[in-house]
Amino acid sequence: MTEDLVSKKQLKYLNASTRKLIWWKYRKHTLAMIGLVSIAGMYFTAVFCEFLAPYSKDTRHLEAIFAPITKIHFFDEKGSLSWPFVRQSSLELDMENHRATVVEVPGTHFPIKFFVKGDSYLFWGMWEWNRHLFGVEQPGTLFLFGADRMGRDVFSRCLYGTRISLSIGMIGVLLSLLLGVTLGGISGYFGGWPDGIIQRIIEVIRCFPSIPLWMGLSAAMPPHWPAMKVYFAITLILSLVGWTDLARMVRGKLMSLREEEFVLAAKFVGASDLRIIFKHLLPSFTSHIIVSVTLAIPGMILAETALSFLGIGLRPPITSLGVLLKEAQNVTTVALYPWLLIPVFFVILIVLSFNFVGDGLRDAVDPYSR
Amino acid sequence: MFAYIIRRILIMIPTLIAISMISFIIIQLPPGDFLTTYVSQLSASGETVDQAELESLKKRFGLDEPIYMQYLQWVWNFIHGDFGHSFEWNKPVSELIGERLQLTIIISVCTLLFTWAVAVPIGVYSAVRQYSWLDYVLTVFGFIGLATPNFLLALILLWVSYAYLGLSIGGLFSPDYADAPWSFAKVLDLFKHLWIPVVIVGLGHTAKFIRIIRGNLLDELRKPYVVTARAKGLSETRLILKYPVRVAINPLVSTIGWTLPELISGIAITAVVLNLPTTGPLLLSALMSQDMQLAGTFIMLLSCLTVVGTLLSDILLAWVDPRIRFGAREGL
């Protein structure tokens, strides 16, 4: 009589799969849920950034060099409420401070429209289109985050930068996952001298202060390399230094698991080492690997940002958040045009979200505890 | 204890050898050697280099020898304090790095001390008053501190202080003292500027340590010996400070090994933003101009610094924690 012994709620819990239990536990973690939603949003942005951004990343508006954040007006000249609109901006020489400033032209009226026609782009490098989610018609301009020294829209560039930064994190982590699981796997499963050598290598890599090492490696790239090659080289460099944490985790887990009975049983029925590792051992701690990977991504993104910020990472035309921040290196520029600092908050948001998700996952992967 | 230290120093040697190899590889990575740079510099300034002189220079620097001999030569010179020649500055490398390395060490040690001084009381408070509003505030602060990369924080601070307070927080010395010889007043001036990079670099680590201490102390507080001590009527302050806190702050010492490389990394990049006269900006400019002798020396020395730091922390840990000391003795 199960109904007497356990309630319906308990029965649901007892019948649930591990995956379901992890999800239930994860759902309770508010910050982790916020992080998950924000990461999902950012990846969505990264995938569709050509459409979501009002301008393409390299469109230069000569009339809007260092244009401040465009004011969106809700009231027209007569003071009555209207659909949000912007005024046309134009460059004016400020003779007092000897610099050009961007001012609004009174009387102009450019309503913000959805699915507006703008710069044409190749969506995912395949389909040509010229509609953008929102924007204003020419010659009006809409700069949500202002414009930079070449009159490019910082908001659009942030979206494109997010795409590159996130992709660096993904590819870099995949590479270091490959290295970490392979080397950590050999180290943990076989032990003995391979373990000794791999452990020494890990120790040496961890001794190096990572940023100077990254700097040294990426500065060694020949300056004539094309931007795309630099992109892959940087990803490779980041993962060459970043795989050690994963390898240690995999090694530790394998060492404790290889003594379990199910491994012995698999050996008795004649399974090969590779089969035991990939079919029996790795799946038993996939969740832990996912946690480590989630927590490793922000480190990769930050490292790339730091390198590009210093000018030895990615180079234009590839635009990452770090490349954007390079514009903000000079204090006097930033003091005059503070909106150039906005990409900083994108970086912080990405890192914070990944950390929240990682923390939540770490708590949730052992659904049977407590 | 003595045997333990000897053993630790012996373990260090292969690590140092590996580090020297990687540094040497970094020096060799860019195409061409420093003679090519030298020749191109000369021809850029309109001078011609004749082949015989080139050959004699090659011989003098040992560039005609196989790569492993060059490596051994480099290591030999390195041990004897000859770090090579910087072509960007046209000076021996050793002259350029002395003071900068010193400042890097000062900042790292100060940051470490700052981190401990802030993290221990806050961590203990958060654990003892778990789920109080201040604990929540500190947790949120911790998350933000953890997520804000220090060079971006430096950038934001720099902008805020420049735009709103009208002062520049960059640099380590006031203009009056920058080139002055060391004196008491200069040291005082240094400390006036030092706290900014220390706080910036230390913030992330402080946040991390607060979380470690809080977690550890919470585990300790549930243990029976705490209950026993409380039952015996020990005052709460004394009880917490005397036993569980001592166990809970153990990781501070044991994590120096990986904290130091991170701190030095953080200082390197924060120094570039704040324009501090430490190793970071010089390393960057050396890398940009492919002045690899200088850059390689920096990377090598910074790594050696962390190895030595790790050694010191291990000795400290063995001194603090008898289990490690005796474990090592059994192991021998």
For chain B, counts of helices (H) and of strands (E): 16, 2
CB half-sphere exposure, B261, CA atoms < 13 A: 23
Q: Is A64 exposed, middle or buried (0-12, 13-18, 19+ CB in 10 A)?
A: buried
Chain centroid to Cα A197, Å, comes to 33
- DSSP tag of A223: T
Shortest Cα distance, chain A CAs vs residue B241, angstroms:
29
pLDDT tens digits, A5-48: 677 777 777 777 777 888 888 888 888 888 899 999 999 988 88
- Of B15, B265, B269, nearest to A203 by CB-CB distance is B15
Contact (CB<8Å) A212/B30: no
Domain residue extents for chain B: 14-82, 98-331
- CATH homologous superfamily of B98-331 equals MetI-like (1.10.3720.10)
Decide if B236 contacts B227 (C-beta within 8 A).
Answer: no
Chain centroid to Cα B171, Å, comes to 18
Sequential DSSP letters for B256-269: HHHHHHHHHHHHHH
Structure tokens at A222: 């020949």
Average pLDDT over chain A reads 82
Quick one: pLDDT at residue B328? 46
pLDDT tens digits, A93-115: 777 777 777 777 777 778 787 88
- Of A200, A208, A355, nearest to B146 by CB-CB distance is A355
CA distances from A143 to A73, A85, A224 (A): 13, 12, 34
Q: Does A370 score more than 50 pLDDT?
A: no
B303: which chain A residues are within 8 Å (Cβ-Cβ)? 207-209, 213
Residue B281 CB: number of other CB atoms within 10 A? 19
| Own/partner long-range contacts of A75-79 (Cβ < 8 Å, ≥24 apart) | A76/A109, A77/A107
Quick one: pLDDT at residue B32? 62
Q: What is the mean pLDDT of residues A189-198?
A: 84
Decide if A51 contacts A132 (C-beta within 8 A).
Answer: yes
Quick one: pLDDT at residue B329? 42
Residue A345 CB: number of other CB atoms within 10 A? 15
Shortest Cα distance, chain B CAs vs residue A238, angstroms:
14
Contacts of A359 (CB under 8 A, 6+ apart): A29, A31, A32
Quick one: pLDDT at residue A41? 92
Tens of pLDDT along chain B (332 residues) come to 777 788 878 878 888 888 888 888 887 777 666 666 667 767 767 666 677 777 777 776 666 677 778 788 878 888 877 777 777 777 777 777 877 888 888 888 889 889 888 888 888 888 888 778 888 888 777 777 777 778 888 888 888 877 777 666 666 676 666 666 777 777 777 777 788 888 888 888 888 888 888 888 888 888 888 888 888 888 888 888 888 888 787 777 777 777 877 888 888 888 888 878 888 888 888 887 777 778 888 888 888 887 888 788 778 777 776 666 665 444 33
Q: Which runs of consecutive H residues, i.e. helices, occur in A317-367? A: 321-326, 331-336, 342-364
CA-nearest residue to A205 within chain B is B19
Q: What is the mean pLDDT of residues A302-322?
A: 84
Q: Among residues 227-266 of chain B, which lie with CB inside 8 Å of chain A?
A: 258, 260-262, 264-266
B309: which chain A residues are within 8 Å (Cβ-Cβ)? none
What angle in degrees, to the nearest 10, is found between the helix axes of B51-60 and B34-44? 150
Contact (CB<8Å) B163/A338: yes
Q: Is B74 exposed, middle or buried (0-12, 13-18, 19+ CB in 10 A)?
A: buried
Quick one: pLDDT at residue A38? 92
Chain centroid to Cα B24, Å, comes to 20
pTM, to two decimals: 0.81
Polymer length of chain A:
370
Q: Among residues 29-48 of chain B, which lie with CB inside 8 Å of chain A?
A: 29-31
Shortest Cα distance, chain B CAs vs residue A211, angstroms:
5
B276: which chain A residues are within 8 Å (Cβ-Cβ)? none
Of B21, B24, B7, B38, nearest in space to B295 by CA: B24
Shortest Cα distance, chain A CAs vs residue B245, angstroms:
25
Q: Among residues 56-75 of chain B, which lie with CB inside 8 Å of chain A?
A: none
Shortest Cα distance, chain B CAs vs residue A344, angstroms:
7
The residues that bridge with A131 in the sheet, in sequence order, are A117
Amino acid letter for position B188: L
CA-nearest residue to A200 within chain B is B15
